[in-house]
């Protein structure tokens, strides 16, 4: 994890420069392809690094606190947390994973179901995997498979289904065009 | 997942009865030992089933929405989500897991680090596991090991450390005495 760097000042990035420090005072982390890493930075710093910041100030952080800190997670908090993790994993899964990585992902999903704290949710997930083999061949195939798994739960809970053609906008790229 | 059952009415539980339906209208889910399952029900229904509800109404649900729905997770949301899942897994891990279950948990943690969307956070986690082998022999040993791993990150981020002797209150039982 990066240490806060308070002695440096954030500088607005141009098309040709990559800022080292974000508006939070922390070092900005880039992916190995050189692009700002969305899941490694706070939203504020990510938007700053991509030049896409539009009037979102530090008060945005107030919305980050999802739950009173001292209460064990209930089924809703646990579900939202877990889908967030899984969809974000899909967003960073390789476009062309090798066979080992594909096998590892299937293994991870199986273990995920078996350790899931809500036992009947976990059993449902394990059944879903057995019936619908995870499509781990590409990032997009996995992202869509996961979205469909999530939709099956949405339907059971009476929630609206998500358009799985849009999964990358929701979980990877965001809804706005790249700056 | 249980379907909402709207035709039945919630009945306040006594020491001798187990309510079938909670205040949300959904079926109450019990663990296999017969106790209300905290991670399978909404907080409201869990508190109702344990008889511990004290003036917490449906407005509590307003606090459940942790993030604008259409924005990919940043490092803070991802971190909070993932620690929530991992600590909740510890809370449901067996008191005396067999050897297979212990091996599975170690495998899960290794894969977790390798798939974690924030790459440098995942690498940190993988390094931590190599340096501090996960203590998976009992529920309590794993819960404390995980708490210590979380504390190492807390220190790096300048956040306060948590007293790991209290991990079960934070992630399993809650802070109040059992009803």
- A54 φ/ψ angles, rounded to the nearest 5 degrees: -135, 80
pLDDT value at residue A51: 81
- The nearest alpha carbon in chain A to B81 belongs to A81
Percent of chain A clearing pLDDT 90 (strictly above): 50
Q: What percent of chain A has pLDDT over 70?
A: 79
Buried b / exposed e over B146-163, threshold 16 CB at 10 Å, is bbbbbbbbbeeeeeeebe
Structural tokens at position A178: 């790249």
pLDDT of residue B47: 79
What average pLDDT does range A4-21 have in this prediction? 54
Residue (of B60, B52, B51, B54) closest to B24 by Cα position: B60
Closest CA to A38 of A173, A177, A179: A173
Please state, in angstroms and rounded to a whole number, the distance separating the CA atoms of residues B49 and B60: 17
Nearest to A78 by CA among A39, A142, A121: A121
Name the token pair of B106. 């170690």
Higher pLDDT, A158 or A142: A142
| pLDDT greater than 60 at residue A166 | yes
The domains of chain A are located at: 1-64, 75-173
- Contact yes or no for B47/B56 (Cβ under 8 A): yes
Helix locations, chain B, DSSP H: 43-49, 75-92, 99-115, 119-131, 139-156, 167-168
Is B153 in Cβ contact with A91 (below 8 Å)? Answer: no
Please give the residue that has the higher pLDDT: either B5 or A153. A153
Weakest-pLDDT range from A153-157, B122-126, B130-134: A153-157
| Of A113, A102, A90, nearest in space to A137 by CA | A102
Closest partner residue to A108 (CB to CB) among B115, B120, B172 is B115
Picking from B92, B112, B117, the nearest residue to A39 by CB comes out as B117
For A30, the 3-state DSSP assignment is strand
Q: How far apart are CA A63 and CA B176, in angstroms?
A: 27
The radius of gyration of chain A's CA atoms, rounded to the nearest angstrom, is: 19
Q: What is the pLDDT at residue A64? A: 39
Beta-carbon pairs below 8 A across chains A and B: 194
0.85 surpassed by complex ipTM: no
pLDDT tens digits, A33-73 = 888 887 788 777 887 888 876 434 434 444 433 334 568 89
Residues 6+ apart with CB under 8 A from A118: A75, A78, A79, B29, B37, B39, B40
Instruction: Reduce the DSSP state of residue A21 to 3 states and report it.
Output: strand
| Amino acid A53: pLDDT | 65
Q: Which residues of B touch A121 (CB under 8 A)?
A: 1, 40
pLDDT digits (tens, 9 = 90+) for A105-129: 999 999 999 999 999 899 999 999 9
pLDDT top residue among A31 and B153: B153
C-alpha span between A51 and A109 (Å, rounded)? 36
**Longest Cα pair distance anywhere in chain A, in angstroms?**
55
pLDDT grade for A26, boundaries at 50, 70 and 90: confident
Contact: B39, A78; criterion CB under 8 Å: yes
Nearest by Cα to A79 from A40, A136, A120? A120
What's the CATH number of domain B75-173, 3.30.70.1520, 2.130.10.10, 1.25.40.10, 1.20.120.310?
Answer: 1.20.120.310
B108, A108: Cβ pair inside 8 Å?
yes
pLDDT at B50 over 60: yes
Cross-chain residue pair B175–A70, CB shorter than 8 Å: yes
Q: Which of A80, A91, A117 sits opposite B39 (nearest CB)?
A: A117
The pLDDT-based confidence of B61 (bands split at 50, 70, 90) is: very low
- Output b/e per residue, B107-122; b: 16+ Cβ within 10 A: ebbbbbbbbbbbbbbb
Question: Mean pLDDT across chain A, nearest whole number?
Answer: 81
* Nearest by Cα to A84 from B88, B84, B81: B81
CB neighbour class for A140 (10 Å; exposed up to 12, middle 13-18, buried from 19): middle
Selecting from A3, A38, A69 the residue whose C-beta is nearest the C-beta of B74 gives A38
Per-residue pLDDT tens over the stretch B77-128: 999 999 999 999 999 999 999 999 999 999 999 999 999 999 989 999 999 9
């Amino acid at each position: 994890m990066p240490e806060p760097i308070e002695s440096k000042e954030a500088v607005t990035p141009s098309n040709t420069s990559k800022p080292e420090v974000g508006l939070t005072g922390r070092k900005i982390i880039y992916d190995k392809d050189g692009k700002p890493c969305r899941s490694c930075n706070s939203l504020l710093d990510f938007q700053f690094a991509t030049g896409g910041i539009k009037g979102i100030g530090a008060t945005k952080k107030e919305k980050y606190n999802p739950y009173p800190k001292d209460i064990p997670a209930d089924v809703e908090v646990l579900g939202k947390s877990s889908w967030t993790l899984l969809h974000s994993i899909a967003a960073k899964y390789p476009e062309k994973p090798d066979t080992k990585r594909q096998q590892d992902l299937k293994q991870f999903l199986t273990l995920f179901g078996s350790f899931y704290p809500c036992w009947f949710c976990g059993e449902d997930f394990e059944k879903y995997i057995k019936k619908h083999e995870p499509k781990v061949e590409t990032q997009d195939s996995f992202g869509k498979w996961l979205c469909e798994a999530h939709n099956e739960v949405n339907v059971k809970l009476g929630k609206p289904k998500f358009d799985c053609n849009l999964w990358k906008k929701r979980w990877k790229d965001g809804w706005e065009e790249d700056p």
